[in-house]
Structure 1
Amino acid sequence: MSEQNPFGRDYWEERYAAPGLAWSGDPNPVLVTEAAELTPGTALDIGSGEGGDAFWLATLGWNITGVDISTNALEKARTRAESLDLAAAARIQWQQHDLTAWAPPAQSFDLVSAQFMHLPDPSRSTLFAALAAAVAPGGTLLIVGHDVSREVDAHQSHRAALMFTIDDVLAAIDGEDLHVEAAESRERAQVAAHTESGHLRDIVVRATRPRSQAGESR
């Protein structure tokens, strides 16, 4: 793994090649909080990993496109979803893309979710702008990341340059005609053993596209 590109495809293929799950398999807490009351439609899960978020959304009736750079992650996600609930699994399309070279179709998703998608700039800003553009009229954009406005713990300090602030997100999505409904830092419990503190803080940006933009060309 290169310190300059710790999130490249080789790194993630190797990580997801190991037996078992790299993560908990549970949906990210902020997604659960923000999406639980949304009306199911089409969703884009960016950096879908082993599919915890995509599967949870599918159980609620969403039709999801899960995108990840790792084919190993996508295969794990597909296999796990099918083992848990075939009906939910059938609502998920798994796609392999390098997010530094791919953009989703414009105004195509009722929910666009990027949970802890940490990339170096300018790739990060380009991706966030593309995700904002992918939100359909009436749809929601949800971007969540580690809060680096405070002191970063030892586990994350060597990757601090890859993280982002609220202002970074807002600058990237500016001009996409979205209404920002939340732009804040939130505390959550940390269950991993690598931190001394029992809590972490997350950057949370939630924005929506007005329904009046339906049918407008970009």
Structure 2
Amino acid sequence: MALRRVREGVYQMDGDFSALLRVVPVGDLPAPHNWTVRNYYYYALHAPDHPFAWRYKKGDPVIRCRGSADQRVLHYLYNSFSSFLCDAFLNAWHRVYRNRVLLARIGYEGGYRSLLTGAISEDEAIVVDRLDDGDDLSDVTPSRLVIASGFRPDETTAAWLVVRRGDVELWTTELSLAARRFDARFPVSAPHWRRALRRFRLENAVIG
């Protein structure tokens, strides 16, 4: 991946994950009264500000991404530039391993809301928050990536969760072993997934 400046505040990333990036000033983020009702459950937790406004950092600003990956056109708003980079790396790993091992459709209620919007410390996981809005800030679909392993010095396997549209997906760079039990098939990744889900009381709903 290579990043080059196009003009002030606009950058182009070239490579397998191609994207046009634009820095979004905090003043351009809309207030809650401009959001659609179908996403109110998410935004109400952050009222009266946009969910990305209250933790905005000028040194790591909100990023608008228009890009493509695997023949898909992407329109994402990332809570920070570093979050965008994490997602770009996950996309690169996905192209190599393509290892989504589980999709759990659990709905929007209960612990799902907390997993999607709740605070997760940097010691527990790296969190990437993004809004898929089709370039329309008033009508968005929130999603979150929770990188549970692969960022600590002694870890060689990346395991992460994708939280969106009432679903929780489990991804890993670990190759599956020939075993019947889920935890035995992914002995390195499974403890990290379970730990990330347990605090939101979703471990059984997602993995069992």
- TM-score normalized by the length of structure 2: 0.26
- Name the structure with the higher strand share: 2
TM-score (norm 1): 0.25
Return the structure number with greater helix share.
1
